[in-house]
Amino acid sequence: MKVVRTIKEIREALAPCRPSKTVGLVPTMGYFHVGHLSLMAHARKECDLVVTSLFVNPTQFGQGEDFESYPRDEKRDFKLARDAGVDIIFTPGADEMYEDDFGFYVQAPEELTNRLCGASRPGHFQGVATVVTKLFNIIQPQRAYFGQKDLQQLVVIKRMVKDLNQPVEVVGLPIIREADGLALSSRNVYLSPDERHNALALYQTLRFGRELLDKGLRNTEELKTRMKEFLKTQNSGIRLDYLEVLNVENLSTPKTLAGSIALAGAIWLGKTRLIDNIILEV
Ligand SMILES: Nc1ncnc2c1ncn2[C@@H]1O[C@H](COP(=O)(O)OP(=O)(O)OP(=O)(O)O)[C@@H](O)[C@H]1O
Ligand SMILES: CC(C)(CO)[C@@H](O)C(=O)[O-]
Ligand code: BAL
């Protein structure tokens, strides 16, 4: 596996592969877990050449968020990526991606970003859309792989690719969970044992919502209220950011609960913010 840190070098490394080889990109912020590795494994199966980007992108973090403390372990990540069959790791410094006079940003539509994580993290999706566009331009993959755990990010990126005619196929892949159901996340490493225990309440609440749907509940507001009440009964160590019922296609609030529906939530455990969702066909 080749480790590449500059745009010039990655362009040179990929030039001989074009146009005959299929290049797959797995964009990440590192500190790999099995969720990341599952994206790499899918890319490995479907593409001739697998590139993983490892870049903790400063423009998607707000003031006071965890950019500085975000977990990093390059050596461990390189080993895991190599074992997953990655051909090239692209891990630029912030100066390489954002020169001093950098000034262009990609703005995601308001109706996709004024809710959920976008409401709690103003500017976040502008940072994500901008860096993902830069990665697409630098690496020019035919396919790019993203996790369904970051559902709003996946919807924003699919819409960006469509609206801006970016020549890449976006592949969304299922959430990988711990044995007890907690969604894998690099930020799980921040949790104390108590917080780790309490964190499971989010997934349990989403499952409770799914059970209510299975039993025939079809009123969006009632479903949300029942889920919030359930979360409160679970434990007190959690601060709710949001708990929502959504149409998967466009993240709008469904008037009638039919088709592809997502139950999505974000919670705070101390200083750690975790997200999760369940998608189901109603
Ligand atoms: N549990 C998971 N299952 C599948 N894909 C995942 C999982 N967690 C993250 N991903 C995907 O991995 C890619 C890189 O995500 P990132 O590096 O931010 O990891 P993360 O664990 O989501 O980190 P964070 O804790 O910062 O949210 C994204 O497309 C994300 O959706
Ligand atoms: C897509 C991404 C790599 C952009 O920085 C990041 O938001 C992530 O890890 O999900
Ligand atoms: N997985 C999304 C990256 C972030 O939380 O900034």
The whole-number pLDDT of residue 35 equals 98
Q: What percent of the chain has pLDDT over 90?
A: 98
* Bridge partners of residue 277, in order along the sequence: 264
Q: What is the mean pLDDT of residues 222-249?
A: 95
Q: Choose between 237 and 136: higher pLDDT.
A: 136
- What confidence category does residue 256 fall into, taking pLDDT thresholds of 50, 70 and 90? confident
Substitution site in 36, 124, 130 for ligand 3 pocket (most atoms within 8 Å of beta carbon)? 124
Alpha-carbon Rg for the chain, nearest whole angstrom, is 19
Ordered DSSP codes for 99-147: -TT----PPPPHHHHSSHHHHHSTTHHHHHHHHHHHHHHHH--SEEEEE
- Residue nearest atom 3 in ligand 2 by C-alpha distance: 28
Closest CA to 14 of 45, 53, 42: 53
At 54, is the secondary structure helix, strand, or coil? strand
The whole-number pLDDT of residue 37 equals 98
- Residue nearest atom 2 in ligand 3 by C-alpha distance: 150
Q: Is the CB of 160 under 6 A from ligand 2?
A: no
Tell which CATH classification among 3.20.20.70, 3.40.50.620, 3.30.1490.20, 1.20.1340.10 matches the domain 2-173: 3.40.50.620
Instruction: Tell whether 124 is in a known binding site.
Output: no
Closest CA to 117 of 181, 175, 62: 62
User: Do 53 and 144 touch, CB atoms closer than 8 A?
Assistant: no
Bond prior to 193 in cis (omega within 30° of 0): no
Q: Are strands 272-281 and 143-147 parallel, antiparallel or unpaired?
A: unpaired
Instruction: Tell whether 197 is in a known binding site.
Output: no
User: Do 130 and 106 touch, CB atoms closer than 8 A?
Assistant: yes
- What confidence category does residue 235 fall into, taking pLDDT thresholds of 50, 70 and 90? confident
The whole-number pLDDT of residue 105 equals 98
Q: Is the CB of 60 under 6 A from ligand 3?
A: yes
Ligand closest to 35 (CA) is 1
122 CA to middle of ligand 1, Å?
19
Q: Choose between 19 and 235: higher pLDDT.
A: 19
18 CA to middle of ligand 3, Å?
31
Q: Which amino acid is residue 104, in one-letter code?
A: F
Active site residue 36: yes
195 CA to middle of ligand 3, Å?
20
- Return d(Cα 256, Cα 252) in angstroms, integer: 11
- Half-sphere exposure of 253 toward its Cβ, with a 13 Å CA cutoff? 11
Instruction: Tell whether 103 is in a known binding site.
Output: no
- Return d(Cα 135, Cα 193) in angstroms, integer: 36
- Return d(Cα 265, Cα 206) in angstroms, integer: 8
Q: Is the domain defined by 186-281 classed in CATH 3.30.1300.10?
A: yes
Is-same-fold flag (2-173; 186-281)?
no
- Residue nearest atom 3 in ligand 3 by C-alpha distance: 29
Q: So where are the chain's domains?
A: 2-173, 186-281
Q: Is the pLDDT of residue 236 over 80?
A: no
Integer angstrom CA distances of residue 181 from 76, 163, 189, 207, 235:
25, 35, 16, 10, 17
At 15, is the secondary structure helix, strand, or coil? helix
- What confidence category does residue 280 fall into, taking pLDDT thresholds of 50, 70 and 90? very high
- Return d(Cα 28, Cα 55) in angstroms, integer: 7
- Return d(Cα 237, Cα 198) in angstroms, integer: 7
Substitution site in 59, 148, 149, 150 for ligand 3 pocket (most atoms within 8 Å of beta carbon)? 150
Q: What is the mean pLDDT of residues 196-215?
A: 97
At 201, is the secondary structure helix, strand, or coil? helix
At 52, is the secondary structure helix, strand, or coil? strand
pLDDT in tens, 33-73: 999 999 999 999 999 999 999 999 999 999 999 999 999 99
The H or E element that residue 214 is part of is helix 193-214
- Residue nearest atom 1 in ligand 3 by C-alpha distance: 150
pLDDT in tens, 68-121: 999 999 999 999 999 999 999 999 999 999 999 999 999 999 999 999 999 999
Scanning the structure block, which residue is given the tokens 């708990």? 243
Q: Is the pLDDT of residue 243 over 90?
A: yes
Who lines ligand 1 at CB under 6 A?
A: 28-29, 35-36, 38-39, 146-147, 149-150, 175-176, 183-187
User: Do 85 and 50 touch, CB atoms closer than 8 A?
Assistant: yes
Q: What is the mean pLDDT of the chain?
A: 97
